[in-house]
Amino acid sequence: MSTVSNEPTEASILAAKLAVEPVCAIPELAVKSANQAGGIWLWVRDLLVSAIASILIITFLYQPVRVEGTSMLPRLEDRDRLFINKFVYHISSIERGDVVVFHYPRDPEKSYIKRVIALPGDQLRIDRGKVWLNGKRQPEDYVPEEFRDSKSMAEMVIPDDTYFMMGDHRSISSDSREFGPVERSLIYGKAVFVYWPTRDAGVVR
């Protein structure tokens, strides 16, 4: 038995091309659109993750605060904005020289910012403005000569779980010389970085 097959004509070939080519172009455009949409989504996702991470860091680790007053001159000026680290003292100890923020012992609704001068168990005395710790005179380079005073204070031993605080501008500072050592539970942050104004920007030391 003989068989025959239909040979394609030019018209049928052209029709087949017209039928196939548009169908192939549609998925290509769809892939490009999908890639673009995917790229935008990745960018938005990364932006959202960064924003959430920043909020969590500020909320749980750092807190912006504003300085009110001049008792910490010359490093901190009135209305300086700075970040305090609220987490650091959960994993490390408070050290002499740290600039800390704490609830004012006489009114916990207020917050003070001062420098830690003496730790629990330290023997402290102040002789005409000069600070002596455990029998040694403290250099205190952070206190300019013009900000010193001539006040004295009898020797005392800092009680357990308390810290003796003083402002760097000694002649005007209300500090532990007036209200006594500050309980550890009242200290809630360490000053780390001034961010505004830009002329004062930098690490707090």
Residues annotated as catalytic (active site), given as ranges? 71, 114
**For the residues of the chain, what is the DSSP string, one character each?**
-----PPPPHHHHHHHHHHHHHHHHHHHHHHHHHHHHHHHHHHHHHHHHHHHHHHHHHHHTEEEEE--SSTTTTTS-TT-EEEEESSHHHHS---TT-EEEEEETTEEEEEEEEEEEE-TT-EEEEETTEEEETTEE---TTS-GGG-----EEEEEPPTTEEEEE-SSTTT--SHHHH-PEEGGGEEEEEEEEEESGGG-EE--
